[in-house]
């Protein structure tokens, strides 16, 4: 009889604890699956937001408008946030209040997204301290400066002179187009894209300089 087996047989006496342990073991994978589903749902929502955002930007391609610099940077960060988070990169914002700037959204967004992507790729996958800083400030020459600063792999001195050339890349799967097109787009908006690094292993700073209009030169 089952009652006798559970109370008198040594094997039966161990059965309740075994069933409890089995239930715990079964619940752990279920929790993991539920967490994965939730993660996927969040990512799907994130992708929807990105697509919607890019469609909004595409609608005004080629149109210059007064843009809030912080707002368009946040758009780029939102597009890049999942990748940065997945690779353990911490992002620091250092935003000084600056005037709006006359820009083309369609050109600005790809520049910023590419700079964030390049910074993410500059980190060693095993590195512990992956820090990416986005800094906005008023420049010294009636301009606004957006700096993307990483403490990653750095850039060799020889590469600094070639980094904006079409086709130049240090990535295994790179095409050497992102920084080149970004530099051209910055120039078309009257600005410039610059790169600095103290060498391999010393991180890098990419600076996007954007001109203020004459009627914006006073705070």
Using only C-alpha atoms, what is the Rg of the chain? Answer: 26
Residue 215's pLDDT is what?
A: 40
Predicted confidence band of residue 161 (pLDDT cuts 50, 70, 90):
confident
Rounded CA separation 192/79 (Å): 23
CA distances from 181 to 43, 115, 144, 185 (A): 29, 12, 20, 6
**175, 121 Cβ separation under 8 angstroms:** no
Total-model pTM? 0.70
Using the predicted structure, report yes or no on whether residue 60 has a pLDDT greater than 60: no
Share of the chain above pLDDT 70, in %: 69
How confident is the model over 11-32, as pLDDT tens digits?
Answer: 766 767 777 776 666 665 566 5
Predicted confidence band of residue 169 (pLDDT cuts 50, 70, 90):
confident
How confident is the model over 42-54, as pLDDT tens digits?
Answer: 666 656 665 665 5
Residue 142's pLDDT is what?
A: 86
């Amino acid at each position: 009889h089952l009652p006798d087996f559970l109370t008198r047989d040594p094997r039966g006496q161990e059965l309740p604890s075994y069933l409890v342990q089995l239930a715990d073991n079964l619940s752990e994978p279920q929790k993991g699956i539920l967490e994965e589903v939730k993660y996927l749902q969040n990512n799907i929502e994130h992708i929807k937001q990105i697509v919607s955002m890019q469609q909004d930007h595409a609608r005004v391609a080629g149109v210059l408008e007064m843009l809030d610099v912080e707002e368009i940077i946040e758009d780029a960060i939102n597009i890049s946030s999942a990748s940065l988070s997945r690779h353990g990169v911490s992002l620091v914002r250092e935003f000084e209040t600056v005037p709006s700037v006359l820009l083309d959204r369609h050109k600005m967004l790809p520049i910023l997204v590419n700079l964030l992507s390049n910074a993410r790729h500059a980190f060693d996958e095993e590195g512990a301290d992956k820090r990416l800083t986005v800094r906005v400030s008023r420049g010294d020459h009636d301009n606004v400066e957006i700096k993307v600063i990483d403490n990653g792999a750095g850039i060799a001195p020889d590469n600094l002179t070639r980094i904006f050339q079409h086709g130049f890349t240090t990535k295994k799967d790179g095409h050497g187009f992102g920084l080149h097109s970004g530099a051209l787009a910055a120039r078309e908006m009257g600005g410039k894209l610059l790169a600095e690094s103290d060498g391999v292993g010393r991180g890098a700073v990419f600076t996007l300089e954007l001109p203020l209009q004459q009627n914006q030169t006073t705070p």
